[in-house]
Amino acid sequence: MSRTFVLLIAGYLALAGGAVGIMFINGMFAAKSNVDNAERVAHGLAIYSEHCAACHGADLKGDPDWETQRADRTYPPPPQDHTGHTWQHSDAELFDYIRDGGERFERRAFKTAMGGYGDVLNSADIWAVIAYVKSRWPKEFVAKQARANFLGGLHNH
């Protein structure tokens, strides 16, 4: 075997191993937001009601004009049900957004009004909120979002 061939195989195996590792880690995140864990979902409802519903709505519908950018470049709170875009993000992205706020995800043309809750909510609380929100989506959207978990949500729109 030529040295180049061996190096190519080694490189491929390293990339494949890294990809499997990323998928495994993201799968662990998905387990923390299991919509079938009734206790976690109930805890998430309580946390959501106290900290999220004022902006995103008790019914998860968000602001009716959530897609219209305001003069200050922010957008109104989006829905957290399946009619918004939350399901397009991995659990890891959702966790980071809730914990750190949207500022770290901002693009030049977009400014977030959502601050982080990492000083208010602990990790278990944040995972519970994610579980609650996902429990309200139709099953096909839970399945679609599972693909974002599998891929790690590397596409942040």
Mean pLDDT by 10 residues, the chain (157 residues): 73 64 53 86 98 97 93 91 92 91 71 89 96 96 84 49
> Is 40 in contact with 128 (CB distance < 8 Å)?
yes
For residue 121, the 8-state DSSP code is S
pTM of the model: 0.77
Helix (H, G, I), strand (E, B) or coil at 114: coil
Non-local CB neighbours of 26 within 8 Å, separated by 6+ positions: 90, 91, 92, 149, 150, 151, 152, 153
